[in-house]
C-alpha cells in the first residue's frame, strides 16, 4: 500500500555496447598503468641481473645472497667456486649471486 512501483527502470533492460565499454575502460587503464609502472621495469631489471650473473668469469669479485664477498676461482654452468679468504673456498650456485663488483669502481677498505 505504501510502496510504489519503480518507474525508473528501462523497458526490456537492454545493455548497449557503449555502456560496457565505458565500464571496462577504467579496468583496462589500471592494467596498462600497472604494466608500464610495475611489471615492465621489474622484468627489465631481472633480465639485466640474469645477464650480469651469466657473464661471471674467473677473477670477478661477487657478493652472494648470504652477504659473503669473495673472488671467483672457477665457474661452470650451475656453480661458481668462490675464494672468501686465502685457502678458504666455497661452492655457490650461480643463481644465488646477487652482485658482481666492478674492480675499477671498488675502493680499498682502509681508505
The pLDDT confidence band at residue 108, using thresholds 50, 70 and 90, is: low
The whole-angstrom distance between residue 89's C-alpha and the CA centroid of its chain comes to 30
Span 23-66, pLDDT tens digits: 999 999 999 999 999 999 999 999 999 999 999 999 999 999 99
CA-to-CA distance for 87 and 94, rounded, in angstroms?
Answer: 21
Classify residue 81 as exposed, middle or buried by CB count within 10 Å of its CB (0-12, 13-18, 19+). Answer: middle
Flag whether pLDDT at 102 surpasses 70.
Answer: yes
Amino acid at each position: 500500500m505504501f510502496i510504489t512501483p519503480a518507474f525508473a527502470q528501462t523497458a526490456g533492460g537492454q545493455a548497449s555496447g557503449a555502456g560496457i565499454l565505458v565500464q571496462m575502460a577504467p579496468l583496462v587503464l589500471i592494467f596498462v598503468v600497472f604494466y608500464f609502472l610495475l611489471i615492465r621495469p621489474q622484468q627489465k631489471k631481472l633480465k639485466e641481473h640474469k645477464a650480469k650473473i651469466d657473464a661471471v668469469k674467473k677473477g670477478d669479485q661477487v657478493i652472494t645472497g648470504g652477504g659473503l664477498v669473495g673472488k671467483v676461482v672457477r665457474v661452470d654452468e650451475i656453480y661458481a667456486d668462490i675464494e672468501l679468504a686465502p685457502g678458504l673456498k666455497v661452492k655457490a650456485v650461480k643463481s644465488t649471486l646477487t652482485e658482481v663488483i666492478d674492480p675499477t669502481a671498488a675502493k680499498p677498505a682502509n681508505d
